[in-house]
C-alpha cells in the first residue's frame, strides 16, 4: 500500500500558532480556497509523491545515514510572498532568510532521495511556509497580497527533519511517520 510523502523541517508549536493567527487575520480578505491548518505548517525539503512501503523503508535508512554529519542550526523568518501573478496567486507564503545550512540540508536530502530512485522537482529551491493556496476564481473583492511579516517569534530552530504522510481529506493533513535528529541537537 502506498501513500504520498514529503520530507520537511518541522516548526515549533509557538511559531505554528503565530502563523495560524496571522493567516486567520487574512482569511476571507485574500482569494484562497485552502488555508493551512495550524498543525500543518512546515518547510518542505523534498516532495516524494506516492511511495510504496519498501521504498519508504529505503529512504528512511538513506536519510538517517546522510544526516550523520549535519548539525542543527537556526533560521530566521524573512517576509511574506506569493507564487504566481499578484492578480491570481497560487500560493501565499512566509519565507526564510537565505541560509547556507538550509541549502546544504536540502541538497543532502535531495541527493539521498535521488540515490534511492525518487524523481524530484528541478526548479530552484525556494524555502517557504505555505499559509494559503489555490486561487479562488469566484473571489470578487479587491485584494493586495501582504508582503510584510510582523510576528513575534521569527526564529526557527532546525534540530530535526521529518517524513510526513499526506492525508488530503483530514485536518491536519500531514502526519509525522519518521523523525531524524540532527547532530548537535540543542
| pLDDT per position as a tens digit, 46-57 | 999 999 889 999
Is 28 within a domain? yes
Predicted confidence at residue 12, as pLDDT, reads 96
Find the radius of gyration of the CA atoms of the chain.
17
Catalytic position from the list 4, 21, 42, 82: 42
pLDDT tens for 101-111 read: 999 999 999 99
> Of the ranges 48-57, 147-156, 171-180, which one carries the lowest mean pLDDT score?
147-156
Nearest residue to 94 via CA among 66, 56, 61, 133? 133
Residue 155 lies in a domain: yes
- Count: domains in the chain: 1
Average pLDDT rounded to a whole number, residues 119-147? 89
Confidence (pLDDT) at 185: 47
State residue 22's pLDDT score. Answer: 94
Residue 115's SS3 state is helix
For residue 83, tell me if it sits in a domain.
Answer: yes
- Whether 128 is a known active-site residue: answer yes
pLDDT at 2 over 80: no
Instruction: Look over the chain and give the mean of its residue pLDDT values, rounded to a whole number.
Output: 91
Whether 82 is catalytic is no
- 110: domain CATH number is 3.90.1140.10
67-76, 121-130, 143-152: least confident range: 143-152
Burial class for 158, CB neighbours closer than 10 Å (0-12, 13-18, 19+) = buried
CB 175 within 8 A of CB 165: yes
Phi, psi of 120 (to 5 degrees): -100, 160
Is residue 186 included in any domain, yes or no?
Answer: no
Q: What is the pTM of this model?
A: 0.92
- Between CA 31 and CA 38 the distance in angstroms is 19
Least confident range of 86-90, 102-106, 160-164: 86-90
> Is residue 32 pLDDT above 80, yes or no?
yes
User: Of the residues 4, 21, 82, 128, which is catalytic?
Assistant: 128
What confidence tens digit (pLDDT) does each residue in 14-31 have?
Answer: 999 999 999 999 999 999
Per the structure, the complete domain to which residue 106 belongs is given by 3-181
Which pLDDT band holds residue 72 (cuts at 50, 70, 90)? very high
Residue 118 within a domain: yes
HEC states along 127-181?
A: CEEEEEEEECCCCCCCCCCCCCCCCCCCEEEECEEEEEEECCCCCCCEEEEEEEE
Categorize the per-residue pLDDT at 183 as very low, low, confident or very high, splitting at 50, 70 and 90.
confident
Amino acid at each position: 500500500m502506498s501513500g504520498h510523502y514529503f520530507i520537511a523541517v518541522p516548526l515549533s508549536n509557538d511559531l505554528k500558532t503565530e502563523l495560524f493567527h496571522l493567516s486567520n487575520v487574512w482569511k476571507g480578505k485574500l482569494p484562497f480556497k485552502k488555508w493551512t491548518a495550524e498543525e500543518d505548517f512546515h518547510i518542505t525539503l523534498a516532495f516524494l509523491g506516492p511511495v510504496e512501503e519498501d521504498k519508504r523503508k529505503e529512504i528512511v535508512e538513506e536519510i538517517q545515514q546522510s544526516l550523520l554529519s549535519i548539525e542543527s542550526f537556526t533560521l530566521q523568518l524573512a517576509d511574506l510572498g506569493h507564487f504566481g501573478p499578484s492578480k491570481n496567486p497560487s500560493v501565499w507564503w512566509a519565507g526564510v532568510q537565505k541560509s547556507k545550512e538550509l541549502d546544504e540540508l536540502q541538497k543532502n536530502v535531495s541527493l539521498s532521495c535521488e540515490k534511492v530512485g525518487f524523481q524530484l522537482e528541478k526548479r530552484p529551491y525556494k524555502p517557504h511556509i505555505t499559509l494559503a493556496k489555490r486561487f479562488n476564481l469566484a473571489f470578487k473583492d479587491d485584494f493586495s497580497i501582504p508582503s510584510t511579516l510582523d510576528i513575534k517569534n521569527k526564529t526557527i530552530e532546525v534540530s530535526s527533519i521529518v517524513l510526513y504522510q499526506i492525508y488530503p481529506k483530514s485536518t491536519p493533513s500531514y502526519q509525522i511517520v519518521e523523525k531524524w535528529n540532527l547532530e548537535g541537537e540543542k
